[in-house]
Each structure stands twice: as C-alpha cells, then as structure tokens.
Structure 1
Amino acid sequence: MKYPCSIIQDLLPLYVDEICSEESKKIVEDHLSQCSICKEIYDSMCNLKQEDIHDYHESQRIKSLKQVKKKILYKQILIGLSSIVLLFVLGFGIMTGLKNEIEIVNPDNCVSVSMINGSLTTRLQGSRIYEATIKRVSISSKDYLFFFVKNSQWDALTTNEEIYSELILCPEDKNADEIDEVYYFAGDYEGIESMNEIDLQKIIQNSKLLWKK
C-alpha cells in the first residue's frame, strides 16, 4: 500500500526518534526508498538531531569544565585560608613562647642608673623591664645597692632602641641619698645582706658599677 507523503512526514519525527512501532517503521522506510522529497526531509531532520545532540554534549562539556574550575577555585581558597590559619597559629605560638621566655638582661650599653628627683632609678633602653631583683647592703660605713633586671625575648625583639623602661631602685623616702655605689649583679643573691666585707668584695668584682656618689 502506498501512503501519501503527508502521513509519512507526520511519522518522520517518531521514526527519527526511534519511538514508532515496527509496522510504522517499515512503512516509513519503504516510502523513503521511493520518495526523494520525504527522504530529503528525513535527512534534514537527522542533521538537525545530530546538531542538537552535539549542542547538548557541548553544553554538558562546558558545564563540566565550569564545575571543575569551581572545584579548583574552592580548593585554592581552602588552601589559602588554611595557610593563613596555620601562619596565625604558628605566629601566635612563637609570640607566646617568646613572651614566656624571661631572661636576665645583659647590662652592656642598655642599662644605666641615675638619681632622679632624689630617687635612684635604672633605665633599660630598647626593651621593657619584666621583673627586677634588688638588694641593699650596708658594710664598713658604706651603702651598696645590687640589682639586675629581666625582660622577655619578645620585648627585646619588638621594642626599638628609642623606647626606655624605667624602674625606681631606691625611692627618696628610703634614703636613696645615703647609697654610695650601685652595681649590676646577675649572680646568686642568697645571704648577700649578711656577707662579710671580703665575700662582698668578691661579689663586687663580678658586678658592673653603674652609679657612684
């Protein structure tokens, strides 16, 4: 049976999509083998379908590339944030460690003693005084003052040379004017107040004279 082109053309979309029945498929194929017009329409529909398939795959490829780029960007952001957090933690740890590292200050060129407003005062240049040990010793009608100061490694590293830290060693109301000499001594202070003159002289030999009346 010969079918008109209009019926075949109505069936072509189903045939191209391969969703028609076997009987319809046979009818279309027989007609296409004899009708150049419908065959041309069929070829056009096939080409259009191929373009649609190509466009679909291309859009999927672009979508996939975008997803890959997004994942890479997220990964780079995550690595960047992780690096910042790690540097912050390391920096905080180093800072804390340096602040807890307390040491006796070497007095050379940075520790001085002066009489200011009737009080004996020490000045530490380029750092901050964290704590101090001070002993006043009277022997043979002379008054001596021994002291040393401590700072943290953090202050030593982060404070510039224009910064001064001051500490009163002996205030005016404690008779600072009666002290004859002030020494910087970083040794053992145990029993220093009760030493005899000979032992005290040994301490003086191992000290640095910073002020003398």
Structure 2
Amino acid sequence: MKEIKCTIIQDVLPLYVDEVVSEDTKEMVDEHLQHCEKCQKEYETMKQELYIPAENKAFQFKEISKKWRKKKVIISITSVFITALILLGTYLSVFYFETVIPYSEDLIKIERQNDHQLISRYYGKSRAGVHGTFPKEFEIDGEKKIVSFIYYTKTMTDSPSRNLIDDEKRLGQEDTFVLPESGNNDAVYYVEFDSEEMVPGGKDSWDSVLERAVLIWEK
C-alpha cells in the first residue's frame, strides 16, 4: 500500500478518535499508527483531551447542576432586592417627597392674632408640612425691617400615617401656624429656603432668599 502522509492522517485523527470514520479509513489509520511514532503521540494526546471517565460524568453533571441552581438563587435574590428598592423608592417619592405649594392669596393668609404674634392660616385640602423662620433683620429700601419667611409643602398624595397624625392634632382646630416671636415683625415673605445652606460658604444666603421671596403680609 502506498504510504500515507502524516498530514492526511492527522486531519482525520479527530474523527478516528470519535469513531465516526469508515472501515476503510479506520484500517488506513491503524496501519499508519503502527509504524509512525509522531502520529501515535498525536493520537494519544487527542484521546487524553477527549476522554472523560464514565464514573466522573455523573459527578461533573451534578457539579454543573449545583452551580446553575446556585446561580439561579443568586439571580432571584438580586431581582427581589432590586424590586424592593424600586417599590420603596416609589413609595417614598409618592408619600414623603415634598414639593413647595405655590403661594395664593386664597390659600394662605397671615393675620395678627394679638400684639405678640402672627399666625398663618392655610385653606387647602391637605398639606405635608409648613416651614417658618424666626424674625430676621434686613435693610429694605433704605429702612431696617424685621421679617419672617414661611412656605408650605405637599406630597403627590397624602400618607395615611401623616393623615392620622394630622387629624389627631387638628381635631377641633383650624389649620394654623404660629410664626415664632413675630410680635415685632414688619413683614412676612413666602419663599422656599433651606436653613442648612445658610452657613458661611454655603450654597445660599438670607439676602438671596429675600430677593426671590414674595411679600404676603406687611405691617
């Protein structure tokens, strides 16, 4: 028989190892391997790479299944956690994320209750909170005046817990807010502010707050 080149034998070796060659090809490879040391080594290498002991197959399958189940559990827990965070964020934004209620003369009125204090009356259906300051002294149009700032807030909808607390507080009362130490006030302004930003070097200042404020009461 004519000698077959090693390159041809090595091309069909993978099929030979998998036992998917014809009988004629198998005989040809068998004969070549008997006298070719190089191809014999290639053949042994392929057998080692492809061979999986039968007793290890079940173990490997179990390991793969175990890892897959563990991965599914981790994915499930992560999905539940992310969903919970989204729901919590939605709940907080609906019930507790406060925005400023725009000022309206029909909605908010400042009145002098007596010589020692001013009160704010709110005529809206609901609110989340009210924020007011102690009197502050400013120079306005060349005159020194004592003023207070106030604003009301709302949420997208009323929180049941807020309603319960507010209802208990307001039982038999009007929705009023006493401006602290306001007996000597010359004016009250409506504007949103953040006291924490008024520190030296902060993002805001009381002069800036006054510039954007709306005058809602004056002596």
Fold similarity call, TM over 0.5 = no
For normalisation by structure 2, the TM-score amounts to: 0.39
More helix per residue: 1
**TM-score, with length taken from structure 1:** 0.40
Specify the structure having the higher radius of gyration (Cα).
1
